[in-house]
Amino acid sequence: MKTSQLKNVVFTNGFWKSVSEINRNATIPRCQQQCEETGRIDAIKLNWREGQPNRPHIFWDSDVAKWLEAAAYSLQTTPDQKLLQTIDNVIDLIGKSQKSDGYFNSYYQQFELHKRWTNLTFEHELYCAGHLMEAAVAHYETTGSRTFLDIMCRYADYIDSIFGVETGKMQGYPGHEEIELALVKLHDATGNEKYLKLAKYFVDQRGTAPNYFEKEQKGVWRDCFSLPYFQAHKPVREQDEAVGHAVRAVYLYCGMVDVAVKTNDAGLLQACRNLWENIAFKKMYVTGAIGSCYHGETFTDAYDLPNEEAYAETCAAIGLIFFSWRMFQADKDSRYIDVLERALYNGANSGISLDGKYFFYVNPLACYPGGTLANGQRHVPRPDWFGCACCPPNVARLRASVGQYFYEVDGDTVYANLFNTNNAELEVGGQNVKISQTTNYPWDGNVTFAINGSVTFRLALRIPGWSREHQLLLNGKPADAKMVKGYAIIERQWQSGDKLELLMSMPAEFIYANPKVRHDVGRVALQRGPIVYCLEEIDNGADLNAISIDPAQTPELVNSGDFGGTVLLKLKGSRIEQWSNELYRAQPPQEKAVSLTAVPYYCWGNRKFGEMLIWLRSE
């Protein structure tokens, strides 16, 4: 579903209604407050002076842009005149500060305009431009006003005059990808083919010989910051392994899918498929988080997924959602939604506190706050903002636009991908279709679909990868459905009052990692439906690794008031008893039986900050 249709999916209850309210009432205001207090909005006025606090930074525009985008999505489903006025004022500032040639960058315009485009590799001009374009499209879709859109079209036109294969243009491309996918959005909003062509240029040019970044940086690279870090080590069509900075990578792959689909480029799409499979089958945490290495925020090798030292940036999980969504749109395979759902409920949700006001940049799968990690870092509680603040407004825009992922209409087929109590209005082959869902998902596997109106279409119901058995009842009787790529497809002329029940058993399961993941061998993770669980110190005491569990048991489900109706899991385990002084001994340690409580991973770190563990030792 397009973000222009977000208002057509209304959460009337349950998980995403709560999340949307928290996003609207806490997270978006927090982003605004921080953008104001840290000088990010003032920076747009271009009047910062040496000696003042809050010196503008190269990527600040992108933080403001993502907040604007989040606000615009939120306004589409929940009008708010004051918020609209606030963002329009910021857009007005951007318009006033934009140069007559179309350029806008609050950092370069204040400090080194003469150096614009001289360090594409490491600086973030095109990245900031991309985020502003996404925000402008969101603002246009919500308000119908072209003010912001026109500003960004002028900027895009200017960028188009600078970059390209033509003689006299720069043959560069962004060090931090983002503008590729943004230009496709700008193309879709305006119908201007030039923007698609420019997006295709940035995609095609990347990593070709002679290498632009090599030339720009004169071949000097430090640490991990070399061509693979920027996905510029070879042309993108030849890339089949996700490498380098994880957020850069998945943003690029999004742009690649967009260009492949819009230009009907099967080879490029196959490269995207290869890259997605490389991530999903070799480089993804069980939480859907990606980018395991702190150093350079990078992907590392296949199956290299350390838990305690996991980088697993919130933005990278969000980028994987964006990438997987696009792959679904291209291939209509539910495997992509399985990954999207995994990242959405776990690796992205963990990046924000339950009250929506505090954020993790890094999302480890094991936390030992008492210790220095092998990467030299320490685990700390969620702060309310970051100097490099990409993640908070990214969560905000994801949550404000999450409705887009529930349904997708393709010809006469309606794909139902995610589950929550909601009312949706869709246009299917010229017919208006109203579908409502009623469910307590993700805490229960039963979802009831009610179709309103006499309409003919194919309903493709995603049967999640986590589901081992399900029943499908149409008006109380087994429905006649065939499975295609993970979807139960029911084709019929629907009648008002039709009730389709998807009944999925949702036991808590112990999950095993591929034995090549050396960090997880001999361990199990606890998952129920799409939710990955963890143990926290506050419930289970310290030294969580001293605990082992027998995966033959059936955990008990408990509804907890503490976590807003969340299902907690009670299980039995053994705990190695501590001994004193001696560091090594030949005598085996004693064990005692313990009762354990597991909470959803995304809930961790919301009470007393302490140890946390996803992969439990298996007996």
Reading the block at residue 2, the tokens are 């397009």
Q: Is residue 301 a contact point for a copy of itself (CB under 8 A)?
A: yes
| C-beta closer to a copy of itself: residue 200 or 273 | 273
593 Ramachandran zone, left/alpha/beta (phi>0; psi -120 to 50): beta
Return the residue of 489, 511, 557, 594 that touches a copy of itself, per CB under 8 A: 511
CA 596, CA 563: separation in Å to the nearest integer? 17
141 part of the interface to a copy of itself, by CB under 8 A: no
The verdict on 293 binding a copy of itself (CB under 8 A) reads yes
Q: Taking CB under 8 A as the rule, does residue 550 contact a copy of itself?
A: no
Q: Dihedral angle at the C-alpha atoms of 314, 318, 321, 322, nearest 10 degrees?
A: -150
Q: Is 584 in the site for a copy of itself (CB under 8 A)?
A: yes
Question: Binding of a copy of itself at residue 245 (CB under 8 A)?
Answer: no
Answer for the pair 539, 599: CB distance below 8 angstroms, yes or no. yes
Choice between 546 and 594, CB closer to a copy of itself: 546
Tokens of 29: 């205001």
Check residue 513 for interaction with a copy of itself (CB under 8 A). Answer: yes
Per-residue contact string for residues 192-231; x = within reach of a copy of itself by CB under 8 A: -------------------------------xx-------
Nearer CB in complex with a copy of itself: 152/524: 524
Q: 616 near 535, Cβ under 8 Å?
A: yes
- H or E stretch at 576: strand 567-576
Catalytic (active site) residue 123: no
36 is catalytic: no
Strands 616-618 and 366-367: unpaired
Residue 356 or residue 530: which is nearer to a copy of itself going by CB?
530
Q: Which of 235, 453, 522, 541 binds a copy of itself (CB under 8 A)?
A: 522
517 in contact with a copy of itself (CB under 8 A): yes
250, 320 Cβ separation under 8 angstroms: yes
List, as one string, the DSSP characters of 334-365: HHHHHHHHHIIIIIIGGGB-TTSS-B-SS--S
Shortest CB 299 distance to a copy of itself, Å: 9
User: Under the criterion CB under 8 A, does residue 276 sit at the interface with a copy of itself?
Assistant: no
- What value, to the nearest 5°, has the Cα angle with vertex 196 and ends 227 and 213? 15
Q: Does residue 12 interact with a copy of itself by CB under 8 A?
A: no
Shortest distance, position 72 Cβ to a copy of itself, whole Å: 36
Closest of 275, 224, 285, 283 to residue 249, by C-alpha: 275
Do 284 and 209 form a contact (C-beta atoms < 8 A)?
Answer: no
Which CB sits closer to a copy of itself, 168 or 376? 376
Among 24, 66, 282, 528, binds a copy of itself (CB under 8 A): 282
Query: What DSSP line would sit under 361-380, residue for residue?
Result: SS--SEE-TTS--TTS----
- 30 near 392, Cβ under 8 Å? yes
Binding mask 40-69 for a copy of itself (x = CB under 8 A): ------------------------------
> Which residue lies nearer to a copy of itself by CB, 261 or 302?
302
Work out how close the CB of 442 gets to a copy of itself at its nearest, in angstroms, rounded to a whole number: 17
Report d(CA 206, CA 424) in Å as an integer: 40
Q: To the nearest whole angstrom, how small is the minimum distance from the Cβ of residue 282 to a copy of itself?
A: 7
Q: Which is nearer to a copy of itself, 109 or 292 (CB)?
A: 292
Q: What six digits make up the tokens of 166? A: 């033509």
Cα radius of gyration (the chain): 25
φ, ψ for residue 33, nearest 5 deg: -55, -45
x-or-dash string of contact with a copy of itself, 372-411, rule CB under 8 A:
xxxxx-----------------------------------
Closer residue to a copy of itself, CB minimum distance, 278 or 597: 278
CA angle 416, 356, 445 (to 5 degrees): 30
Which tokens belong to 199? 């997006």
505 near a copy of itself (CB under 8 A):
no
We find the least distance from the C-beta atom of residue 488 to a copy of itself, in angstroms, to be: 20
Determine, following the binding rule CB under 8 A, whether residue 335 of this chain makes contact with a copy of itself: no
Can you name the residues that pair with 474 across neighbouring β-strands? 477, 500
The overall longest dimension of the chain from CA atoms, in Å, is 78
Q: Does 554 bind a copy of itself (CB under 8 A)?
A: no
Task: Give min distance, CB of 446 to a copy of itself, in A.
Answer: 20
Residue 102 or 296: the one with the smaller Cβ distance to a copy of itself is 296
By beta-carbon proximity to a copy of itself, the closer residue of 346 and 606 is 346
Q: What is the dihedral of CA 297, 246, 387, 379, to 10 degrees?
A: -50
Closest distance of CB 242 from a copy of itself, Å: 13
d(CA 400, CA 19): 9
Q: Respond yes or no on whether the N-terminal peptide bond of residue 478 is cis (omega within 30° of 0).
A: no
Shortest separation between residue 492's beta carbon and a copy of itself, angstroms:
33
Site string for a copy of itself, 445-484 (x = CB under 8 A): -----------------------x----------------
Which of 31, 153, 390, 603 is the catalytic position? 390
341 lines the binding site for a copy of itself (CB under 8 A): no
Q: Please return the burial class of 491, using the count of CB atoms within 10 Å of its CB with bins 0-12, 13-18 and 19+.
A: middle
The catalytic residue among 141, 178, 297, 309 is 297
Of 56-64, 80-88, 115-123, 280-288, which segment contacts a copy of itself by CB under 8 A?
A: 280-288
The site for a copy of itself, by CB under 8 A, has a size of 61
SS3 274: helix
Cα-based distances in Å from 516 to 281, 302, 304, 522, 617: 11, 9, 8, 11, 16
Kindly state the smallest distance separating residue 530's Cβ from a copy of itself, in Å: 12
Q: Which of 92, 150, 214, 304 binds a copy of itself (CB under 8 A)?
A: 304
The backbone torsions φ and ψ at residue 358, rounded to the nearest 5 degrees and listed phi first, read -130, 150
- What is d(CA 549, CA 547) in angstroms, rounded to the nearest whole number? 7
Closer residue to a copy of itself, CB minimum distance, 142 or 334? 334
**CA torsion angle 413 419 422 428 (round to 10):** 0
In the complex, which residues of this chain contact a copy of itself (CB under 8 A)?
A: 223-224, 280-282, 284, 286, 292-296, 300-301, 303-304, 306, 308-309, 368, 370-376, 468, 509-518, 521-522, 525, 543-546, 548, 551, 576-579, 581-589, 617
Which residues carry out catalysis?
Answer: 297, 390
